[in-house]
Structure 1
Amino acid sequence: MPEATVGEYMVRNVHTVSPDMTVEQVRQEIINSNFHGFPIVEKGYLLGFVTAKELLRHIDKPDAKIRTVMKRGTLCAIPSMSVDDATRILFRYGLRNLPVVDEDKKLVGIISNIDIVRSQIEKSRPGKVMSVKNFLEQQNGVRMKVVNKDIPIDQIIPTQKEVYMDELVGRQYELKRGLNEPLIVVERRSGYLLVDGHHRIMAAKKLGLREFKAIVLIPNDLDTKFGLEKTAERWGLHTLDDVAIIEGSKHPFMEATTMLLPSEEANGLNQRLMDSVNGEDVGN
């Protein structure tokens, strides 16, 4: 089952403001609308995002052009980004809206918390689990039952060779804020074969957690060797310690999200999340 994308749920008719409008003009736009802020657009290109809170900082300069007081650059999404990834950005950085740009960095839409809620209501996680279950049954000639339970992290067998450090930091932050999506695993005699959730579980391991919620697929024959299992063995993946962590390179969805920000600000986002993660305790 394909993942829902930002392009499917974003609003395409976006209310924008020009960088040549004054602080007072934009203030009136916000007062007379149902929005807390607007994308700043010039000739179709997204330059930034102005909020009511930011306008308050310049309330003593009503005639100043937005261009002269605006914070340049903004977090953004692209139409092909999954709704799950857009949700993570909104959640991590406390945003209400995320502008959407095309490959030329022109504004094509906006996705908000309301759109995310709508997508989650429509999204069927059981459908995803059943899709995985049906595929594995057909590929491996077994029947499987589904149970939900906490599983020991040290018994998880990975099937992905590498994860991104920047995304691990983001997932740690999410876990500390209570966003705890279950893994999808297949029960084996020697542990649990991980099908979905490598960044999630690696983040949990880094936080020192010992167990994690999982949707467990239990085959009627525990001795049948799955294709995923054979690939993991070929790659030398036996425990989570065998998964490589890529540093100095961004996860693809974070690369897209920060492409309009100055490099120093983009690099600072993860540091702020890391500071937050290191500054709080997580219970097991």
Structure 2
Amino acid sequence: MTEHVVSLSPDLTVDEAIERITREGHVGLPVAQGRRLVGFVTPKELLRHLEDRQKPLRSVIAKGTVVAHPEMSLDDAARILFRMGVKELPVVDDQGLMVGVISTTDVIRGQIERVTPSKMEKLRTTLQNLYDVDIDVVERPVSVRGLLPTQKRIYGDELEGRRLELLRGLAEPILVIDKEPQPILVDGHHRVIAALRMDKRNLDAYVLQLDRDIELGLERNARAAGLSSLSDVEILDQGQHPLVEATTRFLANEEPQTRVDDGEDGP
């Protein structure tokens, strides 16, 4: 949920609302008197009133705006977004005050971030069975500098994708084993190197803490591969991440119906 919400005053004109929505880059904005929600307006609704751009918003917004409650689960909010065919949903408390907005982007982010705990639990179970150790897990920010990588190569296209995710606030935690003298990065190499390039010092992480100090196979394999720091990770600018490769392969299998030759080479 986005807590710092941009809203429109109901006293704005249609013309002013169009300018504001265009400037903010939103698909719609809540209309509020202070923190009290009055309605929600989209570009589609504003387009219906282009003939009278000086109308106040309060006279054109739909009555009975659908809202979410702060205690509503992410799954229930996703169902409302899907059923109503909207991209954003104001979140209103029991006093009728707007406390935020949940969007389809928030739902997607939440689903992605749910995947990592399952990876963490699988890793913890594997290590406990292999080494007969007890492992505690804490979720906290970790420094992205000084981690021991366990992946020899990453893909340049996925690195750019992770950079865009970080810019847009997708905080998918990385997986780290707390070890001395060097914590081990198990999952999240693209995210970590993207963060380093963006001069971000910390990322959220699931940190596995072993009850005693033992040498792990992950460490031995990393050293054997010539990995001692993140600078040793090779970035493949010519290759494609499997996700991207699969997508482009599907597109390549599509035979175009027609092609217009504009006299220039394709990309």
Q: TM-score, normalised by structure 1?
A: 0.48
- Runs of 5+ unmatched residues, structure 1: 1-52, 54-95, 97-112, 269-284
Structure 1 segment 1-284 matched on structure 2, within 5 A: 120=111, 125-222=116-213, 224-259=214-249, 260=251
Match of 2:82 in 1: none
Q: 1:161 to 1:149 in 2, by over 3 A?
A: same
How far the C-alpha of 1:123 sits from its partner, in A, is 5.1
Partner of 1:215: helix, strand, or coil? strand
> Aligned partners of 1:190, 1:218: CA distance in 2, in Å?
14
- Aligned-partner Cα distance in 2 for 1:172–1:247: 15
Q: Which amino acid aligns with 2:155?
A: Y
* Contact 2:152–2:234 (8 Å) recurs in 1: yes
Return the structure number with greater relative CO, CA threshold 8 A, min gap 6: 1
Output the CA distance in 1 between the equivalents of 2:112 and 2:185.
Answer: 26
Q: Deviations over 1:147-191 (max 9, x none)?
A: 111111112110000000111011101100101211111011112
Identity of aligned residues (%): 38
Q: 1:228 offset after TM fit, Å?
A: 0.7
Q: TM-score, normalised by structure 2?
A: 0.51
- Radius of gyration: which is bigger? 2
Cα gap change, 1:181 to 1:123, in 2 (>3 Å): closer
Question: Number of residue pairs matched?
Answer: 152
8 Å Cα contact 1:155/1:190 also seen in 2: no
Unaligned runs of 5+ in 2: 1-43, 45-86, 88-103, 255-265
Alignment RMSD, CA only? Answer: 3.0
- String of CA shifts for 1:172-228, please: whole Å, max 9, x gaps: 011001012111110111121011111111111111111111110000112x00011
**1:129 partner letter:** M
